[in-house]
Amino acid sequence: MRSLYIHIPFCQQKCYYCDFCSFVCSDDTQQKYVDKLIEELKFKGTKEQLKSVFIGGGTPSCLSENLIAKIMTAVSTYFEINETTEITIECNPNSLNEQKLKAYKCAGINRLSLGVQSLNEKILKTIGRIHTCKEFYQIAPLIQKYFSNFNFDIMIGLPNQTNFDVVDTIKKLMQFSPTHISMYSLILEENTKLFNQVQNNEIKLPLNDDVVDQYIIGLNTLKEFGFYRYEISNFCKKGYESKHNLNYWECGEYYGVGVSAHSYLNNERFSNTNNLIDYINCKNFEPFFKEKLTSKELIEERIMLGLRTEKGLNISKLKQNLNYDILKEKGDVIQNLLDNKFVKIEENHLKICEDKFYVSNSIIEKLI
């Protein structure tokens, strides 16, 4: 089964660190955008049953609940969804309210992801978040009232963030019993205000080693609360792994609709334009960019995504599907990593050892 990603490129304000495709726009533009999105859903719709739908952004909760309901009606008209389909919406604390939560539930959305980032007011201000801790505390009990499956996004490696801040944020979030936590390490993106602030020495970021400490401390705190890591940055209670995430990591196929959205079908990757006006005015949905992945790229992607997960890389599947015997091709490197306890092989899966996850990028580099 395939997944569907729907991109909503609107935010009330641009966070200083964010380079995602999102804009501050009028209601009229939002309305036109949703109309175009529905046209694209009709164009791409196959009536097939979907494994998961992810309404992401940007900030989908910026849209009125009526527009979200319209999108969901189009999804169920042009594809098939049922109670087994995981349907997630990404939200911000300050653009959410009880009426929206009720409407999401009525529209069939069964999972919510809230961008919290930190519960330190000063840090939120420094990174240009529009919400306050108070707004989080107002909305969190309501999320709990309407949803039994929800994620909080948090970040590490933020300016002036300490180990204490990471633990404190996680502990405070746990009062609301989330089923899933995504803990992302800040990536300093070039086209952002934060990048310039760091370049001009106005802001200092924690050193790499300090971010590794924050990650390990965050991981241990999450473990204490019964969360397990199923991918480098993703943690959940058993049984609440996100189907949508897993589909990406297992190199499953997906449709993407909306400005900048990507699709992956029949070993081909397609992407839509990044330009909002071009997207709204487009006459057909010819991909802006299209590439057939070479077998080398397919192998590298499978290795990279597999090793990022707790389950690891399925060695025999890689051999069967892509005719690549990693134990033969990378025998010496793997032996060295096994001897130094960086990786292990269990039940036909090559895995990064738990205490070496923070150096996974360099391990992956050696194996591709």
Site of interaction with ligand SAM (CB under 6 A): 17-18, 20, 57-59, 90, 92, 115, 117, 153, 155, 184, 186-187, 189
CB of 368 to ligand SF4, least distance (A): 29
Closest residue to ligand SAM, Cβ-based? 115
* 317 touching ligand SF4, by CB under 6 A: no
- When CB distances are held under 5 to 8 angstroms depending on the partner's kind, the choice from ligand SAM, ligand SF4, none that residue 14 binds is ligand SF4
Cβ atoms within 10 Å of 354's Cβ, excluding its own: 10
Nearer to ligand SF4, 14 or 237 (CB): 14
CB 144, CB 185: distance < 8 Å: no
Lookup: tokens for 59: 């900030």
Considering only 14-22, 140-148, 167-175, 296-304, which stretch makes contact with ligand SF4 by CB under 6 A?
14-22
SS3 of 189, please? coil
d(CA 102, CA 311): 36
* 88 touching ligand SF4, by CB under 6 A: no
- When CB distances are held under 5 to 8 angstroms depending on the partner's kind, the choice from ligand SAM, ligand SF4, none that residue 256 binds is none
Give the list of residues 6+ apart from residue 40 with CB closer than 8 angstroms, or none: 257, 258, 285
Q: How far is CA 75 from CA 64, 71, 249, 308, 312, in A?
A: 17, 6, 23, 31, 33
d(CA 113, CA 153): 7
d(CA 61, CA 98): 12
Considering only 54-62, 72-80, 100-108, 267-275, which stretch makes contact with ligand SF4 by CB under 6 A?
54-62
Q: Total number of residues binding ligand SF4 (CB under 6 A)?
A: 11
- When CB distances are held under 5 to 8 angstroms depending on the partner's kind, the choice from ligand SAM, ligand SF4, none that residue 187 binds is ligand SAM
The three-state DSSP-derived secondary structure of 193-260 is HHHHHHHCCCCCCCCHHHHHHHHHHHHHHHHHCCCEEEECCEEECCCCCCHHHHHHHCCCCEEEECCC
Cβ atoms within 10 Å of 313's Cβ, excluding its own: 24
CB of 213 to ligand SF4, least distance (A): 24
CB of 186 to ligand SAM, least distance (A): 5
- When CB distances are held under 5 to 8 angstroms depending on the partner's kind, the choice from ligand SF4, ligand SAM, none that residue 179 binds is none
* 18 touching ligand SF4, by CB under 6 A: yes
SS3 of 343, please? strand
CB 308, CB 231: distance < 8 Å: yes
* 57 touching ligand SF4, by CB under 6 A: yes
* 158 touching ligand SF4, by CB under 6 A: no
Q: Which of residues 98-117 bind ligand SF4 (CB under 6 A)?
A: 115
Residue from 205, 118, 113 nearest 157 by CA = 205
Lookup: tokens for 240: 């609440």
CB of 156 to ligand SAM, least distance (A): 9
Sequence length of the chain is 368
* 273 touching ligand SF4, by CB under 6 A: no
Nearer to ligand SF4, 92 or 151 (CB): 92
SS3 of 358, please? helix
- Interface residue with ligand SF4 among 11, 37, 101, 170 (CB under 6 A) is 11
- Interface residue with ligand SF4 among 14, 193, 317, 356 (CB under 6 A) is 14
* 15 touching ligand SF4, by CB under 6 A: yes
Residue from 90, 70, 115 nearest 244 by CA = 90
- When CB distances are held under 5 to 8 angstroms depending on the partner's kind, the choice from ligand SAM, ligand SF4, none that residue 327 binds is none
d(CA 309, CA 35): 37
* 4 touching ligand SF4, by CB under 6 A: no
Residue from 182, 128, 177 nearest 152 by CA = 182
Tell me which residues touch ligand SF4 (CB under 6 A).
Answer: 11, 14-15, 18, 20, 22, 57-59, 92, 115
